[in-house]
Structure 1
Amino acid sequence: MKDWTGNKRTLGATLGASYLATGERPREDYYATHPDMVRELLNAGAPLRQRVWEPACGAGHIVNVLRERGHEVCATDIVDRGCPDSSVLDFLWEFSAAPMGDVDIMTNPPYATALEFVERALQVVKPGANVWMLLRLQFLEGKARRRLYDVAPPADVWVFSERRTCAKNGDFSKTEGGAIAYAWFHWIKNHRRDCIIKWL
């Protein structure tokens, strides 16, 4: 896959000023993660403990890979999209603690509430837990996110060397070449060292 060289439709979406892609915004901002994006991270040796919570599980694209690798996964989402062995739960509102106790969290959060997902995840996990969020690389920017980074910087950011595509409403048959730079952002609760950039 070659690097993206740009086109007339995608500049605004890449800059992130607003949603300018063709078609309607997916319900609940649902863009499914390609399983290879999870496999490549795990194959690179990313730390992830046995028990994992996926709080925006969709149809199970992340969950299925984790279960294939032997992880015990709690899968939840704000709506039921057919993920096996999942339950409906609003990650931002409906609970006071992680349903599995001491867990790591891995998810591709809705873009509109990505910051809230990160803050909520760091609130509910225990010290030393891993929080993995698949985010646009430009999540590194912004005043509100800077305030987060001042108190809870990522331990590392794993950047995809090639542009990838997340599937609108989970339909990979309709996806085209990726225009967005994605990365896995990794927090370790109570981590206070400098952030390291890594590449996939």
Structure 2
Amino acid sequence: MNALPETFDASGLQQVVERARALLDDGDVAAARMLAAGAYDQAKAAAGYAERFGAAERLVGKARRLQGDALLIEARAKIRLADEWDSSQASGQAKGKGRPKNVPDVEQFSAADAGFTSKEIHEARKLATAERKQPGIVERAIEARLAAGLEPSRANLRAAVGTDTATAAERGNNLYETPPEAVHTLLALEDFQSDIWEPACGRGAISRLLEAAGYRVELSDLIDYGTSDGDGVVQRVEDFLTSTPDPDRPAIVTNPPYGAALNPFVAHALRVHRPGKLALLLNLNFLCGFDDPDRCFAMDENKPARVHIFTRRLPMMHRDGWDGNEASSRMNTAWFVWEMNGDGEYAGPTILNRVDWKDYQPAVPA
């Protein structure tokens, strides 16, 4: 096995990044995007190699910084391309879904002619929409990863801005209200410190029952639902993936967003906030998987103390605003509970506990 070099000469890669930045500034957006994408891949590989073979932290950090710089240039180029493509479609020069009205017959070009796929155009539009809503969100998301000593990857960037850029029609704000049966079961099985943070509070399905059990609950969510606690304090609007640690370190209890944001969400809770206790309602499949660094960080490097597996599936969690037919759930779920030991570590061992939620529901008044 070859030994890892003691130094990492980033000068060549730095020049590529600067060249990509200059091309973008000069308006050669397509070339800037291609060059930045190549630099991103090289920096990512260098950082991964350095980490794998135990290079000094400064060398890993140097490679990650270049990866972040390349990712930012690539994202800005994509945003420019999306805007230019939409402008071309509006003028009738680019092919869309049917010819725009009142546009004369002109020779049109397709996305393939322009060198990108329809999927890439869709993702670029989402970045552009996110930047219009919150100028600088892409750069802030990348800087937050770097500041936390984490890899600024394309996947994490999509997770940081993707949910916010989708329309309510496309995702229903990703809100699937937690059934009370799940919360009653958790409260019967676990005790928490007096203060709890619910960082994906939605409309308060979890927080209301936590408060009813005597806990003080802090509320926040990526979406402004106007949810308030029992004292009338309205939720904060913030992205958990870029949130900073609370010095008081309250316990965290939530049903986190699924999809691309899930693994980064769990890892961010454990790596950045490090609560004394963390309880997340997750798909039982979270026990599996080996190729996502955030999933491995949560399950292998920071072992849950307990996993309360629902032997009977929970009632269906329908999307917020759903008015169609009610259905039974097809998902197997569990409460994953991480708890720090006396050394301040999440060290397990992980105890699997099979439970039937029907055994933990409050008695119905006679």
TM over 0.5: yes
The corresponding residue for 2:337 is: 186
Report the counterpart of residue 176 of structure 2 in structure 1: 31
Aligned partners of 2:175 and 2:202 also within 8 Å: yes
TM-score by length of 2: 0.44
1:159 aligns to 2:159 (yes or no): no
Pair 1:126–1:135, CA change in 2 (3 A): closer
Runs of 4+ aligned structure 1 residues displaced above 4 Å come to 170-174
Say whether residues 1:142 and 2:289 are aligned partners: yes
Q: Is the 8 A contact 2:172 2:319 kept in 1?
A: no
Distance 2:325 2:198 in 1: 25
Contact in 2 for aligned 1:26/1:169 (Cα 8 Å): no
- Given that 1:31 and 1:170 are in contact with CA atoms closer than 8 Å, whether structure 2 keeps it comes out as no
Aligned equivalent of 2:264: 116
Counterpart-to-counterpart distance in 2, 1:178 and 1:82: 28
CA distance in 1, matches of 2:279, 2:325: 27
Q: How far off its partner does 1:87 sit?
A: 1.6
* Offset from partner CA, 1:71-127 (integer Å, 9 cap, x none): 01001000112322312111111x3222x7220000111111121111111134346
* Residue of structure 2 equivalent to 1:7: none
Higher relative CO (Cα under 8 Å, sequence separation at least 6) belongs to 1
Counterpart Cα distance in 1 of 2:307 and 2:334: 6
State which drifts further: 164-173 or 181-190.
Answer: 164-173
1:126-146 Cα deviation digits (max 9, x unpaired) = 46x001110000111111223
Question: Which residues in structure 2 correspond to 1:1-200 (within 5 Å)?
Answer: 26-43=171-188, 45-84=189-228, 85-93=234-242, 95-98=243-246, 101-112=248-259, 113-126=261-274, 129-143=276-290, 144=292, 145-164=295-314, 165-169=316-320, 171=322, 175-189=326-340, 190-200=345-355
Q: 2:347 corresponds to which letter in structure 1?
A: R
> 1:31 Cα shift?
1.2
List gaps (5 residues or longer) in structure 1. 1-23
Total equivalences in the alignment: 173
More helix by share: 2
Work out the CA distance in 2 between the residues paired with 1:186 and 1:27.
28
Computing the radius of gyration from Cα coordinates, the structure with the larger value is 2
Bigger strand share? 1
Task: Write the distance in 2 (CA, Å) between the matches of 1:170 and 1:108.
Answer: 18
RMSD: 2.1
- Aligned residues: percent identity? 32
| Alpha carbons of structure 1 residues 187 and 25: separation in structure 2 relative to 1, 3 Å | farther
Whether the 8 Å CA contact 2:266–2:298 is kept in 1: the answer is no
Aligned to 2:61: none
**Any conservation in 1 of the 2:172–2:321 contact (CA below 8 Å)?**
no
Contact residue 174 and residue 257 of structure 2 kept, 8 A = yes
Deviation of residue 147 (structure 1)? 4.4
Contact 1:154 1:186 in 2 (8 A): yes
Distance 1:168 1:53, change over 3 A: same
Q: What amino acid sits opposite 2:215 in the alignment?
A: H
Which ranges of structure 2 fall in alignment gaps of 5 or more residues? 1-168, 229-233, 356-366
